[in-house]
Amino acid sequence: MGTLLLVGTRKGLFLLRSDDARRDWELEGPLLTGWSVYHAMQDPRDGDLYVAGNNFVYGGTVQRSSDLGQTWTRSEGLGLPEDTGLELAEVWHVEPGHASEPDTLWLGATPGALFRSPDKGETWEPVMGLVQHKTREQWEPGAGGMCCHSIQIDPDDPKRMYAAISAAGTFRTDDGGKSWLPANTGVAADFLPDPFPVVGQCVHKLLLHPERPERLWQQNHCGVYRSDDRGDNWERLEGNGLPSGFGFPLALHPRSPDVAFVIPEEGAENRVTPDGRLGVYRTDDGGATWQLLESGLPKPAWGSVMREGFASDSRDPAGIYFGTQSGSVFVSASEGEEWQEVARQLPPVLSVEAGEW
């Protein structure tokens, strides 16, 4: 089984293929030309590809391919009910459902919307418990719109899942999506009069560790955080090696719950790599300390990485991948120790996910 990298860009989807060594890569694309691929992933349950794609004229849609991108089927009828007063603006993230529900998928969208598909993405129903959440009036859109960009499902319990919206915060459901509780205690919102509100936090990316599902990580507008109690409480982890708490993407090690990766930016007011140094920071101790990994990365480099532009695979040693707004894709087959540029001069990269071919 070879390694497949799905690279979503502002101008279509690219695929990169390699073998187990992950050293030599072959580029294919662009596929879905004309569509901005905010997120593309391979469903590990059946190998199908899914794309959350947007076009400035024709709107947002989800596309599925059962033949590794040769042909695509588009979801239809995606939208929000009129009585919500909300209209779908953009689709952001498509997430495979729980292993016990093989036809179920979840979709995060703007404005602050979550959808569920019971039929592999053919049709989508809005999750009204979140769309009409009682705190919604306190949500504010970030620069990327009020996007629901992170959806995480507890592998031990199909009814427990998490959704993160910028800037509304993280929400957890324990009943399959009927009711949602804010899960933001300890997470700062320095841009609000009350820096620790119940909701309104600007989460940039949220991930759950599959080997220890009560552990969540988030890269936020205001710091990097970890929770060990399903989001009930959060601990801020910056300092001890991180040049900044600001950044967008986040990646986790596929097996070790103590290992996480971030790519910080200088700060909210200057969203570039700190001192022009493109670097991945890894913690091996749950966020207590962070080490810079930059061997093989260009410098100076100001190649910002979007919130979906960072991923890990499930191999051993784990492969770590990121794509930049300046159109490069970097791969490490050594858990971040050594990097190589495997594609360059692509359109701005919006998302990176690893799969198999």
Partner 1 sequence: MVVVKLPALIAEQAGGQREFDVEAATVGDALRALPISDLLLDERGNLRRLVNVYVDGQDAREADGLQTALDAAQEVRVIAAVAGG
By beta-carbon proximity to partner 1, the closer residue of 31 and 147 is 31
Whole-number Å distance between alpha carbons of 133 and 263? 32
The single-letter code of the amino acid at 145 is: G
Asked if the peptide bond before residue 197 counts as cis, ω within 30 degrees of 0, the response is no
Question: By CB under 8 A, is residue 17 in contact with partner 1?
Answer: no
Question: By CB under 8 A, is residue 58 in contact with partner 1?
Answer: yes
Question: By CB under 8 A, is residue 70 in contact with partner 1?
Answer: no
Stretch that binds partner 1, among 79-87, 136-144, 175-183, 339-347 (CB under 8 A): 79-87
Nearest one of 158, 178, 177, 156 to 103, comparing CA atoms: 158
Report the nearest approach of partner 1 to the CB of residue 127 (Å).
16
Query: Residue 136's Cα: distance from chain center in Å?
Result: 22
Question: By CB under 8 A, is residue 82 in contact with partner 1?
Answer: yes
Residue whose pair of structure tokens reads 């190998």 in the numeric block: 47
By beta-carbon proximity to partner 1, the closer residue of 54 and 219 is 54
Alpha helices in 282-333 (DSSP H): none
Whole-number Å distance between alpha carbons of 247 and 266? 8
Question: By CB under 8 A, is residue 56 in contact with partner 1?
Answer: yes
Report the nearest approach of partner 1 to the CB of residue 236 (Å).
37
Residue from the set 79, 144, 197, 298 that interacts with partner 1 by CB under 8 A: 79
Report the nearest approach of partner 1 to the CB of residue 5 (Å).
24
Q: For the chain, what is the radius of gyration of the CA atoms?
A: 19
Please give the DSSP secondary-structure letter assigned to residue 318.
P
Residue whose pair of structure tokens reads 């469903």 in the numeric block: 43
Report the nearest approach of partner 1 to the CB of residue 42 (Å).
22
Instruction: Spell out the SS3 assignment of 91-124.
Output: EEEEEECCCCCCCCEEEEEECCEEEEECCCCCCC
Query: For residue 239, what are the contacts with CB-CB under 8 A and spacing of at least 6?
Result: none
DSSP 3-state of 351: strand
Residue whose pair of structure tokens reads 């051993």 in the numeric block: 316
* Per-residue binder mask for partner 1 (CB under 8 A), 274-313, x = binder: ----------------------------------------
Q: Which of residues 228-267 bind partner 1 (CB under 8 A)?
A: none
Please give the DSSP secondary-structure letter assigned to residue 84.
G
By beta-carbon proximity to partner 1, the closer residue of 82 and 137 is 82
* Per-residue binder mask for partner 1 (CB under 8 A), 85-124, x = binder: --xx------------------------------------
Stretch that binds partner 1, among 76-84, 191-199, 212-220, 270-278 (CB under 8 A): 76-84
Stretch that binds partner 1, among 78-86, 233-241, 287-295, 302-310 (CB under 8 A): 78-86
Contact 42, 8 (CB under 8 A): no
Report the nearest approach of partner 1 to the CB of residue 81 (Å).
8
Whole-number Å distance between alpha carbons of 114 and 109? 6
- How many binding residues for partner 1 (CB under 8 A)? 17
Report the nearest approach of partner 1 to the CB of residue 1 (Å).
31
Report the nearest approach of partner 1 to the CB of residue 10 (Å).
9
CA atoms within 13 A on the CB side of 40: 36
Report the nearest approach of partner 1 to the CB of residue 271 (Å).
19
Report the nearest approach of partner 1 to the CB of residue 75 (Å).
9
Question: By CB under 8 A, is residue 66 in contact with partner 1?
Answer: no
Contact 40, 52 (CB under 8 A): yes
| Contact footprint for partner 1 (CB under 8 A) | 33-34, 55-59, 61, 74, 76-80, 82, 87-88
